[in-house]
Every structure is written in structure tokens, then in C-alpha cells.
Structure 1
Amino acid sequence: MNKKIGFFICLMILLCVCIAGCGPQSEDDATPYTRYVESHDGVQVGVPEHPKRILSLSSAFDTILLGLIEPERLAGINKLSTYEEYSLEAKRAKLVKPVLSSYPLEKIIALKPDLVIAPDYISADVIYGLRHMGIATVVVPTPSTVDGVIQNVMEIAHIIGEDEKGSFYNQKIHREIDEIRRLGESIPPDQRKTVLFVSSMDGYTGTGSLFDDMCHYMSIYNAPDRIGLPPRIPFGEERVLAMNPDYIFIPSYKGMDKNLADRYLKNPAFQNLPAIKENRVKPLPAAYLYTMNQHIGEAMLAIMYTVYPQLERNSHD
């Protein structure tokens, strides 16, 4: 008899649980609607329809995101993104907390992001660890062409569900490219200037780099490419002399290598270079030289106006 009573009590408890489970879910308990996007590493990743705590693991992606969404939807920001000369979205970046200088797995998890957007150079172990913890993590390639930058802007917009804004920036950049090409038509090939962009960061300036591709649009000769240097070759003294640049660009931003310009300005071997003789060793905002975001058209126009100051006047004739 006692066994029957016990069984009856258990049955009633299960029935109550089932009835409670059939009731309407609160908004907080509901599972967010999930879309699937393709990650650069070949994985189909389920992402929230409207992510609210997005974390990018790259200052370049920070800038893209800040052009697409409000700062409060970011779970953290790269320190470089808060520097005025490094990011054209720095003012909005300063509204985001915490500020990060590195991305260890434990720190990322502690921020409780609902979406992580990672560049392709982030360790596969970190990507696996985040996904293992149930955090939607999408890998996006690092662009080396202007077209690649445009694709990145549109892809990141799609990942976070902001396709309309991605299309807006696509159209904006192409309008700026049309203006760049129009301006370039007035510069004969034999009057184009040769520019050397020097950086303490490898891979950003030489043959095959994003800056190299930007030069093709800007009617500028990228010095390493012009003398046939392979990608990622250091610029030794003899090579710089062979480049004979008309301009030398130094990226300017908080935390930059203060001695970078002096390596050229104070080197006796370089004193006959056109860039030195004509006082054309120019600090330019890093935001223009390292631009992998929606501002790439603006950046190319700014660089063109620096190299060809007459264009600014011509464009308003």
C-alpha cells in the first residue's frame, strides 16, 4: 500500500513539472533565434539574430563594428581602437569597456560575449576553446586588397544581421573609388610619385600588401613593388636607395615607434633621396595607412591629396 502511495506522489510531481513546462517562456528564458553563417575556417556557425555582446579580436574589426552598431553592443574594445590617429571611430570606441590589449581565452570567456568575430591569425586552439564553451565564433579573413576590405565590411555586417548597413558602406566606398579614379586620370604615368610606407609591423607595406593594392587605385607607385622586391622583404639601406622614394610615410599614433622617422632623416646615406631633400618624410595617421575598414575610400583620398596637393584644387574646379 505504501508503495502505491509513493508511486502516486511521484506521478503527481512529474505531472506538475510537465504542466509548468508547457507554460509560456519568459523572454529571458527563450532561446534566441539562430542564423547560420559560414566561417572562414569552413565551419557553419550558428549566430544570434540580434547579438548584444559582440567581441571582435582585432582593432580593424572593432572599427567596422562601430560603424555598424551602437557601442553598447560591444563586450570589449582593443586599446588601439581608442587612439584618435589609429581609428576613425576612436570617439565611439572610448565609450566601450573594458579596453583590451590581448585576448587570452580565459579573458574572452569572462566577458560573456554572445558572438566573437576573430581574424584568421588567431590561434585555432582559441577558436576551438570558444566554440567548445558554446560561444558563437566566426573567423573572418585578413584582407590584402581593397576589394577584400569591402567584402569584409559586408561580411561582418551580415554576421551581425546588419546587411542594409553593409550595403550602404559598399556603395559609399565605390563612390569614393570613382572619385579616386577620376582624379587619377589627370596624373600621367611618368608624373606619378613613388612612395615608401615604413612600418614596425611586418607585412603591411611591401609588395602584395593592402597598401600596395591601394597604390594602384591612387595612381601612386609603391616603392618596394616598383623595384620588384618580393613580399615581406626587409627594407635594408641599399634597397631604400634603389627605391629612391619621392615620399616616405610614417604611421602616426599613440604608442608608435618614435625612432622610425629618425632612421631615415638622420641616416647620412639617405640625404640625397628626393623624400629627404624635399622634406617629404610625412607622418600620416595610422588610420589612413592601416585602413581595413569602411573608411578605406576616405583614406585613399587623403593620401592622394598629400602626394598630389594640386588634386584638391582640381577636384573643386
Structure 2
Amino acid sequence: MNKNIVYLICLMILLFLGITGCGPQDETRTFPNTRYVESYDGVRVVVPDHPKRILALSSAYDTILLGLIEPDRLVGINKLSTYPEYSMEAERATLVKPVMSSYPLEKIIALNPDLVIAPDYTTVDVIEGLRHMGIPTVVVAGGSTVEGVIKNITDIANIVGEPEKGQFYDTKIRREMDELKRLGASISPEHRKSVLFVSSMDGYTGTGSLFDDMCRYMSINNAPSAFGLPPRTPFGEERVLAMNPDFIFIPSYKGMDKGLSDRYLENPAFENLPAIKEHRVKPLPAAYLYTMNQHIGEAMLAIMHTVYPQLERNSHD
């Protein structure tokens, strides 16, 4: 969309709402207590010390925010965030209205947020349009590693003025990582199990993915990575047979995802695959696939215990 048209739409909406004045020069008037934060796109953004009308343009960041602030500080929520199978903060997410499935610029402006947190894939037109209207907009990069997720949590906590809570989750996750390390000490490299965690997005959990990095902490071999597949490579029949994973995990959406489960359980090509024959195709909460949030340590421990059930008796030693 032409930037001039975007700005014109924004101006019309603000006039309709009866808001006088727009643009960055009005930020200090609107938000008397402010500070600077660094945005991922290299911009220093003036944000309120204690923002009260926050909108995240990502379900992943919704989940992080719901662990940091009260729901009444959010002016909208992504629809996926309200599904228990997708988000471990779904119960709190249902307290937020409106529920959104997309983020058109004019709708964001109409919500009158005092802070927008945007993922790094948000279009430049949206970012510039919001900033042009005087709405503090901070871009946050997606976490593709466990350490990256921890950094995202603490960064977002600082952005919304809750650094202590960010530090709390940093400490919590690292304590869970220590437990993973302790449990993993009993699993020798030659006894590590291989796992194929599938997704409706082919290759999403493959080489170089967040799940790939999580496997290092869980003492698990991520089958695509161990087999040497390039990132984002689809898991076709021949590749799955060649990988021969010890476990196949299928994200559950109120039970298994039928399309994905049928692809493996009902496929004649896999009938002799040991994981199929020995009932090692298992459902796991879909939220574990999208655990780019404060629950990542819990998710890793749960997956590790599923792969190595013998660890259960040692987990409280």
C-alpha cells in the first residue's frame, strides 16, 4: 500500500475519534513519564514508563505479555492465544477483548494503544504508519534458540516496565535448564533417542529450528538435524523412512491433529516403521511447538520425560 495512502487513512481515523494532534512531537504530552528503549530495527523509541494499553502483533508475544502483566493492560489479543492447545496462557487470554485474527493498520490505531510490540516480520508500512501517528512501536526479533527466547522475555519485560518479572522468568527457566542437565547426565550419547516432531508447516521443527536447539538441552537427537537435512526441508515419506526416528510426536489439538496423524498412522508406506509398529507415535500439546515464551523450560522437561520415562523416578532425587 502507498505510504501516503496509509498516512491519509490514519489521519482520517484519528479525526473520527476526535484525537487532536498526531506525530512523534506529541508523545511527551500524551505520556508525561517516558523513557527510551531500543527497537530491533535500530530505532530508539519513546515509550511510557508504565504502559496501560498494550497491543502485541503476535500470538507468541501475547503469551509472554500475559505472564508479565495483568490482562486488563492489553487492548487486544490474537485468536490463537485463546486456544488452550496453542497457548499455556489461554485462560488469561480469554479475559482480553477484542479477539483478533489479523492486524490491519486502521484497526490497530482505532484501539488507541499506548504501546505496540511488533515481531520483526511486521511490514515496514505498518511500523512507519503507527509511528507516524505517534504510537510508540517497538520491534522485537523472534527467538530461534532457547537463549533467544529468554532474551525476548527479558526484553519485553523491560519494554513494558516490568524488569523484575523478566528476571524472575530468566531465573525460572535457567533453574529448569539445570534440571534438564542433571537428568541428561544419566543418558550417554549412544543411548540418546531420536525424535521427529512434525508440524502442519513442513520443516518447521527441522534443522536450525527452535525445537532443534531445545533438543540439545533435552539430550535428544532431533531426527532431521541428525540426518543432515537442510533447514526447512519437508519430511516426505522417503526421508521419514531414512531418518527412522525412535519417536514421532504429533501436536494435539483437542486430541491428535487428524490430518497429521493419518499421514503417519494410516499411511501404508510407514506400516513397518518401528515407531509405528511399537506405538511410539504420540500426541504432545501443540503449545510445545510454539513455546517461544516463559514456559519453554516446562515444555522441555515434559518432552524429555516422555522420551525417557525412566527419568520420572529420578526427577526428585
Secondary structure of the residue aligned to 1:204 is coil
The offset of 1:30, in angstroms, is 6.3
Superposed CA deviations along residues 191-235 of structure 1, whole A, max 9, x for unmatched, are 111100111125530100000000000000001001100101111
Matches within 5 A, 1:47-196: 47-196=47-196
The offset of 1:84, in angstroms, is 1.0
The offset of 1:254, in angstroms, is 5.8
Matches within 5 A, 1:7-22: none
Instruction: Give the Cα–Cα distance (whole angstroms) in 2 for the partners of residues 258 and 140 of structure 1.
Output: 34
Superposed CA deviations along residues 31-66 of structure 1, whole A, max 9, x for unmatched, are 421111111111111111110010001111011100
8 Å CA contact 2:173, 2:294 repeated in 1: yes
Secondary structure of the residue aligned to 2:144 is coil
Which residue does 2:7 correspond to in 1? none
8 Å CA contact 1:67, 1:294 repeated in 2: yes
Which residue does 2:233 correspond to in 1? 233
Which residue does 1:222 correspond to in 2? 222
> Structure 2 vs 1, CA of residues 30 and 199 (structure 1 numbering), >3 Å: closer, same or farther?
closer
Superposed CA deviations along residues 254-299 of structure 1, whole A, max 9, x for unmatched, are 6985311100111111122222111111111111221000110000
8 Å CA contact 1:83, 1:253 repeated in 2: no
Instruction: Give the Cα–Cα distance (whole angstroms) in 2 for the partners of residues 284 and 80 of structure 1.
Output: 17
Secondary structure of the residue aligned to 2:259 is coil
> Structure 2 vs 1, CA of residues 82 and 256 (structure 1 numbering), >3 Å: closer, same or farther?
farther
Which residue does 2:308 correspond to in 1? 308
Aligned residue type for 2:198: V
Matches within 5 A, 1:20-39: 31-39=31-39
> Structure 2 vs 1, CA of residues 256 and 161 (structure 1 numbering), >3 Å: closer, same or farther?
farther
Q: Number of residue pairs matched?
A: 289
TM-score using structure 2 length: 0.88
Instruction: Give the Cα–Cα distance (whole angstroms) in 2 for the partners of residues 142 and 71 of structure 1.
Output: 22
The offset of 1:128, in angstroms, is 1.0
Runs of 4+ in 1 over 4 A off after TM superposition: 254-257
Secondary structure of the residue aligned to 1:261 is helix
TM-score using structure 1 length: 0.88
The offset of 1:314, in angstroms, is 1.5
Instruction: Give the Cα–Cα distance (whole angstroms) in 2 for the partners of residues 283 and 230 of structure 1.
Output: 25
Gaps of 5+ in 1: 1-28
Aligned residue type for 1:106: E
Quick check: which has more Rg, 1 or 2? 1
Which residue does 1:278 correspond to in 2? 278
8 Å CA contact 2:31, 2:48 repeated in 1: no
Instruction: Give the Cα–Cα distance (whole angstroms) in 2 for the partners of residues 117 and 253 of structure 1.
Output: 28
8 Å CA contact 1:247, 1:307 repeated in 2: yes
Which residue does 2:199 correspond to in 1? 199
Instruction: Give the Cα–Cα distance (whole angstroms) in 2 for the partners of residues 308 and 174 of structure 1.
Output: 21
8 Å CA contact 1:247, 1:274 repeated in 2: no
Instruction: Give the Cα–Cα distance (whole angstroms) in 2 for the partners of residues 106 and 257 of structure 1.
Output: 35
Which residue does 1:247 correspond to in 2? 247
8 Å CA contact 1:59, 1:78 repeated in 2: yes
Secondary structure of the residue aligned to 1:260 is helix
Which residue does 2:15 correspond to in 1? none
Aligned residue type for 1:297: G
Q: Give the fraction of aligned pairs with identical amino acids, expressed as a percent.
A: 80
Which residue does 2:261 correspond to in 1? 261
* RMSD of aligned Cα (Å): 1.5
Aligned residue type for 2:34: T
